[in-house]
Amino acid sequence: MEKIIVINGPNLNLLGTREPDVYGSTTLASIEQRLQIVGEDLRCKLAFFQSNHEGAIIDRLHEAREHEDGILINPGAFTHYSIAIRDAIKAVALPAIEIHLSNIHAREAFRAHSVIAPVCLGQVCGLGVIGYELGLQALVRHLRNEKE
């Protein structure tokens, strides 16, 4: 049974209240609940982590080396400058998928560039909450492929 850590970066704890026209009206808790259900369907085990602290996210990524098999991460604003998180993902050497609720290509120019994407398997953006579910599916299928 694969273990997946789902990491959400800064300000995502405000989901549902923050700029709902951009980010939708679902709360982070309900996203995590839905993922929990999807995870059970896929027979994998999820852990959840949200922080507004870059360092805490890095610490949690390091822990994943011992406790999880894959990473689903929405780095929020850190997407655009946290080379430290990029290096952490590369260092722990687990497969990771980057998720964005909004279409980062249809907003301010600086949001189109991710410093983290190059060390992930791939990126899903603009599909709202569904993006997390799809990312989870892809990650689990990727992990199972590796084992078979």
Q: Which residues are catalytic?
A: 23, 100
- The CA distance from 95 to 52, in Å, is 23
Cα–Cα–Cα angle for 7, 114, 45, rounded to 5 degrees? 20
The region, left, alpha or beta by phi > 0 then psi within -120 to 50, assigned to residue 5 is beta
Residue 14 beta carbon to a second copy: minimum distance, rounded to whole angstroms: 5
Residue 19 beta carbon to a second copy: minimum distance, rounded to whole angstroms: 6
Instruction: Estimate to the nearest angstrom the gap between the alpha carbon of 58 and the chain centroid.
Output: 13
- CB nearer to a second copy: pick between 47 and 138: 138
Q: Which helix (H) or strand (E) holds 90?
A: helix 83-92
- The CA distance from 63 to 125, in Å, is 26
Q: Which residues bind a second copy (CB under 8 A)?
A: 9-11, 13-14, 17-19, 51-56, 58-59, 62, 65, 76-78, 80-84, 86-88, 90-92, 97, 103, 105-106, 110, 112-115, 117-127, 130-131, 134, 137-138, 141-142
Residue 139 beta carbon to a second copy: minimum distance, rounded to whole angstroms: 9
